[in-house]
């Protein structure tokens, strides 16, 4: 564990432009890879009368041999979903 992030150096951002249409499929994919997800934070503009149909999910991924490419490929196959990740090796 030579880094501050330990075995959890990957941060992934998932943008959903049509949450109501993509949420179920994205959730299925996140469930499939759930053992690698340490932190999940979902953000969207919410208001009393109206809720936007776009949002972002931030993940912290942990473990050895995290299947990042496979996970990204599956998420990007969902229409209106964009994915990026970065490694935080301090």
What CATH number does domain 10-87 carry, 3.40.50.720, 3.40.50.980, 3.30.70.1150, 3.90.76.10?
Answer: 3.30.70.1150
pLDDT the model gives residue 44: 78
Helices then strands (H, E): number in the chain? 2, 4
Q: What is the mean pLDDT of residues 37-44?
A: 92
Cα 14 to Cα 85: distance, rounded to the nearest angstrom: 9
Three-class SS of residue 88?
coil
Q: What is the mean pLDDT of residues 12-33?
A: 94
Of 69 and 5, the structure prediction assigns the larger pLDDT to 69
pLDDT the model gives residue 3: 46
Of 5 and 63, the structure prediction assigns the larger pLDDT to 63
Cα 5 to Cα 40: distance, rounded to the nearest angstrom: 16
| Distance from the Cα of residue 48 to its chain's centroid | 26
């Amino acid at each position: 564990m030579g880094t501050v992030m330990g075995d959890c150096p990957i941060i992934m951002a998932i943008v959903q432009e049509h949450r109501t249409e993509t949420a179920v499929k994205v959730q299925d994919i996140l469930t499939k890879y759930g053992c690698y997800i340490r932190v999940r934070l979902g953000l969207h503009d919410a208001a009393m009368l109206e809720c936007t149909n776009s949002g972002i999910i931030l993940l912290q991924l942990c473990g050895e041999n995290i299947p990042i490419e496979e996970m990204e490929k599956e998420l990007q196959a969902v229409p209106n979903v964009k994915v990026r990740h970065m490694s935080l090796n301090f």
